Amino acid sequence: MSRHPDTTRRIMSAVRNRDTKPELALRKALHGRGLRYRLRTALPGKPDIVFGPAKVVVFVDGDYWHGNAWRTRGFESFDAYYGRGGNAPFWLAKIRRNIARDLEVTATLTCAGWTVLRCWESDIERDLSAVTDLVADAVRSDGPRLRTTAA
């Protein structure tokens, strides 16, 4: 069964890439702890949350679009999850490109002296307090490093 391209376009245009529920929850929790941040900057990769003076950026990565959905949905591998269905080659390539882009952005920002935190939406939904602790610790500590909630 094939879907008309206009239908797919309409569905995909409704997918949020900013101000998602996990992102809003994390921002609210950080604000509640007295941390102030920026949302819109010219930094590579368009980080979701930026702590300029501390040089910390936070990306809230959606599980599906950034390649973690296979873990959260109990599949044995990336290929087993994204390789299903009639358009499997497209989705495998697309999500792999997203992952590669994430790695490039992380490397670019890290080389520029930023601490990069990549948080899975599922980790925020499962344990908001732990992710908030991770971000707060990075903002309040010294020196750049890469942190992630991914296992």
> What are the Cα distances from residue 131, in Å, to 13, 74, 95, 97, 143?
29, 22, 24, 26, 19
Give just the sign of the alpha carbon dihedral 112, 114, 119, 121. negative
What is the pLDDT tens value at each position of the chain, 151 positions in all?
566 667 655 655 555 567 899 999 999 999 999 999 999 899 999 999 999 999 999 999 999 999 999 999 999 999 999 999 889 999 999 999 999 999 999 999 999 999 999 999 999 999 999 999 999 999 998 655 555 565 4
Spell out the residues 6+ positions from residue 32 whose beta carbon is closer than 8 angstroms to its own: none
